[in-house]
Copies of this chain bind each other. A is one copy, B any other.
């Protein structure tokens, strides 16, 4: 019962927390993502949650983001320190709102200690003062990888990204997905070729990027507002609607490359895209998992070449579940050096909440325990503890039931937490070095010699450490 006239102990708006079964789902996804990232040699880093404010604002602006500044609150017995040096006199600091600015700062801070190309992953939480609404959180976890070079960065790094995305989403079994690949130089080049002025190109790309959200009619109006002529708009719309297999689209692009005027940048983009696609194929990404989509632009100015988005087929309304691209200018605000890079990001917290809501994933059991050793009689506790330890040593997660309660209650307790197996040992079994193994799902109960118990349970659990995960695609 909550206390009367009491503290409001709810989480602050926009700072939700998971129940154990949901948190376990998040850990399962994090483990899977990490395994794939590491298999390509990406190494973990974690930058502090707090950076100097000037670092976070280094890119001229913080976009539309509200940053959270931090300020020390002294305990009552230390109010006298208010004016002293140290914590209270410290510089302006704030919570990071993405992983990109901190990555740039990390590289600047450790330039001579890192090996380039520097391939890192980072899966921390970031903070944004968004209005809290459906699926928008003020604290959320982003899983990012980037590979950054000090001079040239091979396009094969771009080709690895779809392979990584594909492996992750295959592994977590969330249904059919499609990675859409494009190249910003193709878009920019095409816009130039139809006579659009340099300064209008970025705004136009921004408009194209909204196509799926606002529809073709609205895109046409927005382009008109930018001063794009009707026949230019027509050509652009036709262009970004080019459809077909990867090879068909590449053929059309090669044909256009020979026919359009001022095609230099366009040709560079097409060549880059061909190289990336060849790499993606050599890496064995299944053909049905990727396509070329000329309407993909990624809003940010930041991207200069390859761009990616990933959609869940049948659930397109969820938006892109993994996006990214190639850029040229990461550390420029901190160092006198250009560093090209390519990266992707999964907004994990938001993704999980949407997948749970859509019923595509379910939360896991509320405990990692796979077995409960029940308590039939307190004087057998040494046996229960010993059996529990043997099972743990065999890699099985075990809860020993310490309270002596009716067996049915103990089974209920196990079932409520999603534990499938109970081990039951009475004095006769203990004397005969036997046990009864009850499967709470099938209600089946078998007698197993204690020495075979771990093996028998492992056989029944199967190979997956998350045997209980359910996907409904």
A-side residues, CB < 8 A to B, are 1-3, 6-13, 15-20, 23-24, 26-27, 38-55, 58, 61-78, 86-87, 90-91, 93-95, 105-106, 108-110, 113-115, 119-120, 125, 127, 129-131, 138-139, 152, 154, 156-157, 163, 279, 282-284, 333-337, 366-369, 381-382, 385-386, 388-389, 392, 395-400, 402-403, 413, 416-417
Are A381 and B156 in touch, CB under 8 angstroms? yes
Bound Cα distance A380, B58 (Å): 43
Are A48 and B17 in touch, CB under 8 angstroms? yes
- Given that A283-B385, A399-B40 are known contacts, is A78 also in contact with B49, CB under 8 Å in the complex? no
**Which residues of the partner chain B approach A369 to less than 8 Å between Cβ atoms?**
38, 41
CB distance from A193 to the nearest CB of B (A): 31
Residue in contact with A64 in the complex, picked from B48, B77, B335, CB distance below 8 Å: B77
CB distance from A97 to the nearest CB of B (A): 10
CB distance from A279 to the nearest CB of B (A): 7
Bound Cα distance A46, B15 (Å): 11
CB distance from A401 to the nearest CB of B (A): 9
**Which residues of the partner chain B approach A58 to less than 8 Å between Cβ atoms?**
7, 9
Are A64 and B75 in touch, CB under 8 angstroms? yes
- Given that A39-B398, A53-B73, A66-B74 are known contacts, is A131 also in contact with B48, CB under 8 Å in the complex? no
Are A43 and B16 in touch, CB under 8 angstroms? no
Are A19 and B108 in touch, CB under 8 angstroms? no
Report which residue of A20, A38, A381, A397 has the largest number of chain B beta carbons within 10 angstroms of its beta carbon. Answer: A20
Bound Cα distance A119, B46 (Å): 28
Q: A17-B106, A43-B366, A86-B131 are in contact. List 8 more A-B contacts (CB 8 A).
A: A9-B58, A15-B48, A15-B50, A20-B114, A43-B367, A49-B125, A70-B71, A74-B129
Residue in contact with A45 in the complex, picked from B23, B42, B64, CB distance below 8 Å: B23
Are B41 and A398 in touch, CB under 8 angstroms? yes
Are B72 and A44 in touch, CB under 8 angstroms? no
- Given that A7-B334, A11-B48 are known contacts, is A120 also in contact with B20, CB under 8 Å in the complex? yes
7 interchain pairs, CB-CB under 8 A? A3-B333, A40-B397, A64-B75, A66-B78, A67-B75, A87-B129, A156-B402
Residue of B nearest to A106 (CB): B17
**Which residues of the partner chain B approach A154 to less than 8 Å between Cβ atoms?**
402-403
**Which residues of the partner chain B approach A49 to less than 8 Å between Cβ atoms?**
15, 49, 125, 127, 139
- Given that A3-B335, A47-B17 are known contacts, is A52 also in contact with B8, CB under 8 Å in the complex? yes
Bound Cα distance A95, B93 (Å): 13
**Which residues of the partner chain B approach A68 to less than 8 Å between Cβ atoms?**
50, 70-73
Bound Cα distance A347, B65 (Å): 33
**Which residues of the partner chain B approach A113 to less than 8 Å between Cβ atoms?**
19
**Which residues of the partner chain B approach A120 to less than 8 Å between Cβ atoms?**
20
**Which residues of the partner chain B approach A282 to less than 8 Å between Cβ atoms?**
381-382, 385-386
Bound Cα distance A6, B106 (Å): 16
CB distance from A419 to the nearest CB of B (A): 8
- Given that A1-B337, A68-B71, A71-B69 are known contacts, is A18 also in contact with B46, CB under 8 Å in the complex? yes
Are B24 and A44 in touch, CB under 8 angstroms? yes
> Which 8 A-B pairs have CB atoms at the shortest separation, nearest pair first?
A41-B369, A41-B399, A154-B402, A15-B48, A38-B368, A282-B385, A20-B43, A68-B70
Are B53 and A334 in touch, CB under 8 angstroms? no
